[in-house]
Amino acid sequence: GPKVLQIPSHQIIDMGQMVTLNCDPVSNHLYFYWYKQILGQQMEFLVNFYNGKVMEKSKLFKDQFSVERPDGSYFTLKIQPTALEDSAVYFCASSLVRVNTEVFFGKGTRLTVV
Amino acid sequence: AQKVTQTQTSISVVEKTTVTMDCVYETRDSSYFLFWYKQTASGEIVFLIRQDSYKKENATVGHYSLNFQKPKSSIGLIITATQIEDSAVYFCAMSPTNYNQGKLIFGQGTKLSIKP
């Protein structure tokens, strides 16, 4: 079936540095999402993105976070600067339309901030 | 506040039996969607089944079915004839409005282990 690919699967970064998480969504999908999962807890919605704009974001989407998808390439989540509490697994997801549709998830990028 | 709660941390059953996983939710929305996903050992998150809040009949897909009890804000997942490969973490989720279905509120997950 359709796949959402996330690169890399694991990234370790020093606190205060910038990190970019990459997501290759399903090719014809138009809506993109990021979720955060702290170890042992549930996935939590961060943001969704459509037509070059953030549609909605949660309180977890701090000012240090940004998303973009330049020219139909990777959908990215950038954290600058990183903090220890940003350590988590970040899941990218995409869907073709906004409602009455299946949302496809990637396998996640485990981010460790040291 | 909107919330999804799965109280069963883990369940273990013997292969070929039926298992039920519980999920309760809180929402003030009159229309919403409820979902079940599973996360495999490899990390893959797979959509299983969905219930639309306005539908009274329980959804069924393959060997997955739902027990939707709207007055109790409950959406249980039933897996019949379980197989070893059903071992995974199962997440219940809710989409609180019908305009942005990708904004999901997830439960904590239930780890299901199927024994031979």
Grouped pLDDT means (10 residues each) for chain B, 116 residues: 94 97 94 93 90 94 97 97 96 81 90 96
pLDDT score recorded for residue B98: 63
User: Are the beta carbons of B47 and A103 separated by less than 8 Å?
Assistant: yes
* pLDDT per residue rounded down to tens, chain A (114 residues): 788 999 999 999 999 999 999 999 999 899 999 999 998 888 999 999 999 999 999 999 999 999 999 877 899 999 999 999 999 999 999 998 877 678 899 999 999 999
Q: How many CB atoms lie within 10 A of CB A18?
A: 11
pLDDT score recorded for residue A13: 97
Q: How many CB atoms lie within 10 A of CB B88?
A: 22
By the 8 A CB rule, do B65 and B91 touch?
Answer: no
Distances (CA, A) of A108 to A20, A23, B58: 13, 9, 31
Chain A contact for B2 (CB, 8 A cutoff): no
pLDDT score recorded for residue B99: 64
pLDDT score recorded for residue B97: 67
- Smallest Cα distance from A11 to chain B, Å: 16
User: Are the beta carbons of B47 and A102 separated by less than 8 Å?
Assistant: yes
